[in-house]
Amino acid sequence: MLLISCPNCGSRDETEFHYGGQAHVPYPENPNDLTDREWAEYLFYRENTKGTFAERWVHSTGCRQWFNMLRDTVTYDIQAVYPMGVPRPAAPFPPAADTGTASTGAASTTPLSPSTAPEGATK
């Protein structure tokens, strides 16, 4: 079970979230101008990184908000949580402070204010 720090709600079980795949994939500006190859790239091709991967999650059972996350796809360590629309934070990341145990707010690597994590929302 991943323990994911929602930027709005703090640490919650993975079961409260849904996975949204690779982050930062823009909709093509002019879909009509794309070749079949480019359209296929947009529809079907996503990075499948072994290592640090930027991906989207939505806190579906909580605040229903999307956010971005950097996660290592081998160790499953969550390295950063950051808002939609914000570019991917630069590496390297300090080791995440709270992997899998009780925490008192959003992870310290989160570039968002941990004050948004309420009392009682953490575990």
Q: In the complex, which residues of this chain contact other proteins (CB under 8 A)?
A: 1-2, 8-10, 12-16, 18-19, 21, 36-37, 39-41, 43-46, 48-50, 53, 55, 61-65, 71, 73-76, 102, 116-123
Q: Is 14 left (phi over 0), alpha (psi -120 to 50) or beta?
A: alpha
Distance CA 23, CA 94 (A): 21
Collapsing DSSP to helix, strand or coil, 122 comes out as: coil
Q: Which is nearer to other proteins, 33 or 119 (CB)?
A: 119
CA distances from 34 to 24, 25, 28, 45, 46 (A): 19, 15, 8, 15, 17
Q: Does 62 bind Zn ion (CB under 5 A)?
A: yes
Instruction: Please choose, out of 21-29, 62-70, 81-89, 113-121, the segment that lies near Zn ion by the rule CB under 5 A.
Output: 62-70
Which of other proteins, Zn ion, none interacts with 16 (beta carbon under 5 to 8 A by kind)? other proteins
